[in-house]
Structure 1
Amino acid sequence: MPLIQIQLIQGRPEDKIKEVIENVTNTVHETLGAPKESIRVIVTEIPKTHWGIGGMPVSNIPNR
């Protein structure tokens, strides 16, 4: 049973998260031949205050 974990910065629309889950599932199915019913995708959204780039939280970086 493939398990795929994806971490994203919080704030994307729900329909985009659903699209990522569907696309990743299809790609794993096509690449590995795993049945779609056995593929698990976990999407974790991280608040911008908890995601750091260059020593700073993303919430403090302009245009992020």
Structure 2
Amino acid sequence: MDVEDFQYPPDRSAAYTIVEISMFEGRSMETKKDLIQQLYKQIHEKLLLPVHDLEITIFETPRAHWGIRGLPGDELELNYSVEV
């Protein structure tokens, strides 16, 4: 399948991109909004992708719904701090 075969909304260009982020739940609304704003800024500056061609979605799930290093996420001890 060629790039020309992909469909995108009529008000977007062929550069239309969706970024999906999966993360543990618990971060503040302010933190998530800041992440989205920083992603728009950095992606636009570094990749020259127009902001109208970018959509960002955050999916939050409980740590117990993750499997990491052979353990459920809520049983995993991280060797770093996660500030939410």
TM over 0.5: yes
Confirm or deny that 1:38 pairs with 2:47.
no
Count of aligned positions: 64
5+ residue gaps, structure 1, are none
- How many percent identity over aligned positions? 27
Confirm or deny that 1:16 pairs with 2:1.
no
Higher-helix-fraction structure: 1
With normalisation by structure 1, the TM-score equals 0.82
Higher-strand-fraction structure: 1
CA distance in 2, matches of 1:19, 1:58: 25
With normalisation by structure 2, the TM-score equals 0.65
Stretches of 4+ aligned residues off by more than 3 angstroms? 61-64
Relative contact order higher in (CA < 8 Å, ≥ 6 apart) = 1
CA RMSD, aligned part only? Answer: 1.8
